[in-house]
Amino acid sequence: MPSAWTDDTTNDQSANDASSPTPAADFLTTEIYNIGAQPGIRSLPPSPERDFLALTWGPVVYRTAYSARADRLLPVFLRALSHEVQAAIPRRLPGTPKQRHLLETSYACKVFSDETRFAGAGAGAEIGAVRRAFHDWKRADLALPLMELPARLRVCLVVDEGVLRALERMMTTTTTTTQEKDTDEEAAEGSAEDGSEKGSGEMCYGSCPVIMVEENFPDRRRRDSNPADGEYPGWTQNLSGRESVVLMVYTMDRYLSRKRARSPPTPPCSDEDSTDMKLARLASLFPDMALDALMEILLASGGCVETATTTIQAQASLYPPKKRSTAGATPAIQTSLNAHMRISHLQDQKRSLLTRKGKTLHLYAPEDIAAHTPCTIIHNFLPAAQANALLLELLDESKHFSRYRFQLFDRTVQSPHSASIYVATPEQHRQHTAEYTYGGTYRATVRQTTPHLRAVSGTVQQAVNAEIQHRIRTVYPGGRKLKYQSPKEWMPNAAFVNCYDGPTEAVGYHSDELTYLGPRAVIGSLSLGVEREFRVRRIVPTDDEDAAAAAAEDPEAPEDTSEGRISAHTAADKTSTPTKAPIPSEHNNNNNNNNNNNNNNSRKSPTISSPAAAATAAARANAQGQISIHPPHNSLLVMHAEMQEEWKHAIVPAQTISPHPLAGNRRINVTYRWYRDSLHPRHTPRCRCGAPTILRCVQRRRETRGRYMWMCYAGYAPGKKGCSFFQWADFDEDGEPLWDKTAVPDDAPWLENFVEGQDQLEAGVGGHVGNEKGNASI
Ligand SMILES: O=C(O)CCC(=O)C(=O)O
Ligand SMILES: [Fe+2]
């Protein structure tokens, strides 16, 4: 992959330089950075093909000449083409040196070479074989959607005998006559450097013909590409001088050569129906098509059902559906499950069919993620420029991040990534460093929120509230919120920012600490930079496991502790061998009464965890298999109310990563959280060590499953010993703690959120339901 993307982007100047607004930056954004997030491409499983599509630009070439001479000339042609393109970059796509470097190094072409399929399919009628192959590669092999493909997927080049003959003539002429030096200095420099064979390096290839074939898919940005205009679907073919032909394809309004007569405008479609209604009409016309595909076509047709219908019919007649090729597919990876499954209330039952012991199921499509995990994902969440600005801001901030230390059995270890908490005010800063504890200690790195972090939190707040409401309507039993879930509007007032620098940085399986968020907490998680694997696995035992657990000695020991308290590896997860996670020892739940003040001394000390117990717990947690999500740059993952109690999540180490143009090897993740005033440490119980306790939920033991408890966590702080304090925690239906609030003085400062100008949020989906003490959000 492009070496330039591994450049030292810790240098702010270079990172900013890469995003300065120039034609080159514009090109990089539209043709590369945004491509990975395009519908379809973003749903491809990790593969060289996806990297090619998401990280490079350049033409797709079909070779139709297969003689010995062609074998010799094709590499010359490709080198010459690359040379032409490199030479044309500064002319056609001016930009900063960094941008130019990125453009130069991310150029890649893909050559299809298959004598049995393409031999002789050069020009004229036979070009149809190339068209069909090009089309099938995109539609059947890659399963890309119909619309809005990048330029390289709408134009292919054909190298036939004629093209190579012309090239050979030029080479002969060039080597036998006085060399006609390319007027373009850049071209000459490039050719000298590229090591081309003698004679090809300094030729002027501008006059070498190349066959260019365009597929005229409708493009929502071009009214005249509407299929209802009459000429759709169509292909055109050019014999063009090749100088910069590839760049011309990209730069000249995308499709340069098609001189189509403008048809009279399409009669306006009725716009009275809602999108749902239109979608329903399309679905009834094309019952075999997936709803998301229909939605994409509908959007690309400007919301017009008639246009969408014509598009689909034209596609169907030209390219009847072909069985999807499995060649090259990665085993055990599903790109989309929605052909088989739809969201319903039977999630668990369906998931159990999907995930199996020790196996990882990779999900990409948002509807699959929503159906089979406790998360929803929104791709392309922020405007691209805002996401990039936030990323750059946080990359800069990350030099202040720290690794937290925690006790792992008898060792003190560091978190395998760095992080910082962000809050809105100096008062909150004080509270987060001196009052809130995390896994038994105070956090050293707490920082005041940054401009972009703050600006984005309003958007996150709106989206998360909308997703919560949607989840309640479509997934939760009876269309009602879960027991203990807050009915109030979700209002983030702290952000945890993590930085994973390189493939080995990770965070092990954990659930996020509920101590200050309360039961059924929702968290908004924004991913920026490098795409990494976010894995989830369900920890609620199945009936079989219940039976086994009942017979076991240590039925309640969780696999690991709350967030971040896990070893620095998780390679174990990849191989299904047990994770070495610290285990807070079981609290004994035999005492199942509701006495909140009942300290149960029969609980073992939390520090007496052992690697063997961790292994058992990890193996148990692995029994139901795991699901892998791949949040791309600029995606918002909402961890819904069922997540923290019933699932664990991790960022697993990667074997390889695809560098991000701005972030290099780094991934930044922001989790927006809503700290509840009613769970401020001034309220929560203290243990016998005098330390604040943490809130946990019982999952393993059937009799007490779903109950919450306060427990001592001091034993997880480096060098400290904990006590065996344990107390049941009770909440009302809405997750508000049931304790004597009058005992707490009410003059303490309350939490404040980030967002200035609250009015912009009040229009948010789900309505403004009110707020504890009128907080605004982060
Ligand atoms: O980086 C991520 O996506 C997850 C981070 C996380 O789990 C956490 O901060 O608790
Ligand atoms: Fe987490």
HEC sequence for 187-229: HHHHHHHCCCCCCCCCCCHHHCEEEEEEECCCECCEHHHCHHH
pLDDT of residue 469: 97
* Contact call for residues 559 and 583 (beta carbons, < 8 A): yes
DSSP label at residue 699:
-
| pLDDT confidence bin for 150, thresholds 50/70/90 | low
Amino acid at position 500, single letter:
Y
| Whether the CB of 723 sits within 6 Å of ligand 1 | no
Q: ipTM score here?
A: 0.99
Q: What is the predicted pLDDT for the residue at 41? A: 65
CA–centroid distance, residue 672 to ligand 2 (Å): 11
Q: Which of 649, 666, 673 to mutate to test the pocket of ligand 1 (most atoms within 8 A of CB)?
A: 649
Cα of 333 vs centre of ligand 2, distance in Å, is: 24
CB distance 647 to ligand 1 below 6 Å? no
Rounded to whole angstroms, the Cα distance separating 31 from 39 reads 14
Residue 60 has pLDDT above 60, yes or no: yes
Q: Which has the minimum average pLDDT: 66-75, 552-561, 594-603, 627-636?
A: 594-603
Pocket flag, ligand 1, residue 498 (CB < 6 Å)? yes
Cβ proximity of 578 and 612 under 8 Å:
no
Q: How many CB atoms lie within 10 A of CB 423?
A: 26
Q: Is 415 in the pocket of ligand 1 (CB under 6 A)?
A: no
3-state secondary structure string across 577-641 = CCCCCCCCCCCCCCCCCCCCCCCCCCCCCCCCCCHHHHHHHHHHHHCCCEEEECCCCCEEEEECC
For the stretch 671-727, pLDDT in tens is 999 999 899 888 888 888 778 888 989 887 778 888 998 888 776 666 667 777 888
Check if 404 has its Cβ closer than 6 Å to any atom of ligand 1. no
Choosing from 391, 514, 525 the residue with most ligand 1 atoms within 8 A of its CB, the one to mutate for a pocket test is: 525
Give the DSSP H/E element, type plus range, for residue 400.
Answer: none
Would you say 529 and 634 are in contact if contact means Cβ atoms under 8 Å apart? no
Distance between Cα 211 and ligand 1 center (Å) = 49
CB 671 near ligand 1, within 6 Å: yes
Q: For residue 233, say if its preceding peptide bond is cis, omega within 30 degrees of 0.
A: yes
Cα(499) to ligand 1 centroid in Å equals 10
Q: Is 110 helix (H, G, I), strand (E, B) or coil?
A: strand
CA of 260 to the centre of ligand 1 (A): 51
> Is residue 496 in contact with ligand 1, taking CB distance under 6 Å?
yes
Residue 378 CA to ligand 2 centre (angstroms):
18
- The distance of Cα 594 from the centroid of its chain, to the nearest Å, equals 43
pLDDT of residue 703: 80
**CA 689 / ligand 2 centre spacing (Å):** 27
Asked whether the beta carbons of 395 and 663 are under 8 A apart, the reply is yes
DSSP H or E segment with residue 523: strand 523-529
Report the separation in Å between the CA atom of 210 and the middle of ligand 1, taken as the mean of its atom positions: 50
Ligand 1, closest atom to CA 649?
7
Q: What is the mean pLDDT of residues 452-466?
A: 96
Give the atom of ligand 1 at the shortest distance from the alpha carbon of 667: 1
Farthest CA pair distance, the chain? 99
Q: What ligand 1 atom has the least distance to the C-alpha of 671?
A: 9
Which ligand has the nearest atom to the CA of 495? 1
Q: Averaged over 121-144, what is the pLDDT?
A: 71
Q: What atom in ligand 1 is closest to the CA of residue 527?
A: 3
- Site to substitute for ligand 1 among 420, 668, 671, most atoms within 8 A of C-beta: 671
649 Cα–ligand 2 center, Å = 6
596-609 CB burial, b ≥16 within 10 A, e <16:
eeebbeebeebbeb
Q: What is the DSSP letter of 484?
A: T
Ligand 1, atom nearest to 512 Cα: 10
Please state, in angstroms and as integers, the Cα–Cα distance from residue 320 to each residue in 132, 140, 228, 282, following that order.
11, 11, 20, 18
Per the prediction, the chain carries an average pLDDT of 67
Enter the pTM of the model. Answer: 0.51
Q: Is 486 in the pocket of ligand 1 (CB under 6 A)?
A: no
pLDDT of res. 716:
64
563 Cβ below 6 A of ligand 1: yes
Ligand 1 contacts CB of residue 530 (under 6 A): no
Instruction: Compute the C-alpha angle 733/739/745, nearest 5°.
Output: 130
CA-nearest residue, atom 2 of ligand 1? 669
pLDDT for res 622: 53
Confidence check: pLDDT of 639 > 60: yes
DSSP conformational letter for 265:
P
The string of pLDDT tens digits covering residues 401-445 is 998 776 655 667 778 899 999 999 888 888 888 888 876 677 778
pLDDT reading at 767 higher than 50: no
Which residues have CB atoms below 5 A from the ion given as ligand 2? Answer: 512, 563
Q: Ligand 2 centre from 512 Cα, in Å?
A: 5
Per the model's pLDDT, the better-predicted residue between 123 and 426 turns out to be 426
Ligand 1 pocket residue status of 505, Cβ below 6 Å: no
What are the structure tokens assigned to 705, written together?
Answer: 């499953």
Show the tokens assigned to 722. Answer: 């904990």
Does residue 512 have its Cβ closer than 6 Å to ligand 1?
Answer: yes
Whole-number Å distance between alpha carbons of 428 and 753:
9
List, edge to edge, every strand of the sheet that includes 507-510.
360-363, 626-629, 534-538, 647-651, 507-510
Q: How confident is the model at residue 222 (pLDDT cuts 50, 70, 90)?
A: very low
- Exposure of 721 in the CB half-sphere (CA atoms within 13 A): 4
Instruction: Decide if 650 contacts 570 (C-beta within 8 A).
Output: yes
Alpha carbon of 92 to ligand 2 centroid (Å): 46
pLDDT average, residue stretch 743-750: 46
75 CA distance to ligand 1 middle (Å):
46
Ligand 1 proximity of 651 Cβ (cutoff 6 Å) = yes
Number of neighbouring beta carbons within 10 Å of residue 763: 9
> For residue 13, how far is its CA from the centre of ligand 2 (angstroms)?
32
Q: Is the pLDDT of residue 9 over 60?
A: no
Range from 239-248, 406-415, 514-523 that averages highest in pLDDT: 514-523
Atom of ligand 1 nearest to the CA of 650: 7
Whole-number Cα distances in Å, 190 to 24, 97, 108: 19, 15, 16
User: How many Å is the Cα radius of gyration of the chain?
Assistant: 29
| Cα-to-centroid distance, 563 and ligand 2 (Å) | 5
Higher model confidence: residue 336 or residue 405? 405
Whether 401 contacts 669, CB under 8 Å: no
Q: Which of 81, 139, 70, 151 is nearest to 109 (CA)?
A: 81
Q: What are phi and psi of 706, to 5 degrees?
A: 90, -5
Cα-based angle 5, 8, 14 (whole degrees, multiple of 5): 85
The CB-based long-range contact list for 15-20 (8 Å cut-off, 24+ gap) reads 15/392, 15/395, 15/662, 16/392, 17/96, 17/97, 17/98, 17/99, 18/96, 18/98, 18/99, 18/102, 18/661, 18/662, 19/388, 19/392, 19/662, 20/95, 20/96, 20/99
DSSP string, 174-191: HHHS-----S-HHHHHHH
**Sheet containing strand 708-711, strands side by side:** 694-697, 708-711, 726-729
Of 615, 560, 598, nearest to 704 (Cα)?
A: 598
Cα-Cα-Cα-Cα torsion 608, 614, 617, 623, nearest 10 degrees, comes to: 180
pLDDT for position 445: 84
pLDDT of res. 283:
67
pLDDT digits (tens, 9 = 90+) for 18-28: 556 777 887 77
Ligand located closest to 511 CA: 2
Q: Is 438 in the pocket of ligand 1 (CB under 6 A)?
A: no
| CA separation, residue 733 to residues 25, 231, 485, 607 (Å) | 52, 61, 7, 33
Residue 558 has pLDDT above 50, yes or no: no
Q: Does the CB atom of residue 649 touch ligand 1 within 6 A?
A: yes
What angle, 0 to 180 degrees and rounded to 10, lies between the N-to-C axes of helices 161-176 and 68-92? 80
Residue 353's CB is within 10 A of a number of other CB atoms, namely: 10
Domains identified in the chain and CATH numbers? 23-175+205-232+247-254 (no CATH), 275-306 (no CATH), 360-541+618-729 (2.60.120.590)
Q: Which residues 6+ apart lie within 8 Å of 351 measured at CB?
A: 372, 538, 627
